[in-house]
Chains A and B, each alone.
Chain A
Amino acid sequence: QKEVEQNSGPLSVPEGAIASLNCTYSDRGSQSFFWYRQYSGKSPELIMFIYSNGDKEDGRFTAQLNKASQYVSLLIRDSQPSDSATYLCAFSPPGAAGNKLTFGGGTRVLVKP
């Protein structure tokens, strides 16, 4: 079993709709979770981080964390063509020296006008 699982997509979303991305992780003790957006040929850009169970909202983005079920999700409201990118889920494992990130393979999102 991979440490972090994401659906590779592509997830096709009409402009203005909600894009829903999911990520499951295997290490039950993980504490810190991050969502990065990566445009083709570019480096990852941090868009959200969440540490506690529940929802965290920032603009059009909402991250949801459920530690009991070991999943974290990202909602993108009012999706725009500029949201078309690969979204990477990552976590910082417990007990690891430092804050190394373990990434999933990413979900490719396509927002169609």
Chain B
Amino acid sequence: AQRVTQPEKLLSVFKGAPVELKCNYSYSGSPELFWYVQYSRQRLQLLLRHISRESIKGFTADLNKGETSFHLKKPFAQEEDSAMYYCALTGAAGNKLTFGGGTRVLVKP
């Protein structure tokens, strides 16, 4: 069975500080990993996917197959980064996603 674990329920950082959201997964094949974000009073939306290897809003995430991790990082957090972040995985079943429990990020001024 596939599983996604986000060990931190809440991350509180000061503006300008680095932020790292942890995501670990279990899956027997080759998964595709994603980060979704939900800002206050907005709908859930895709932030980035590992196959794109791109930086979105200053965030990057590297898939580490050896450690089965897909941590999300940003070197300098901004107040507008305050949101709920979900790590998600899809495998051979195609579009079916398995989500982690979510991490709430609070960036303080």
The answer to whether A and B come from one shared complex is: no
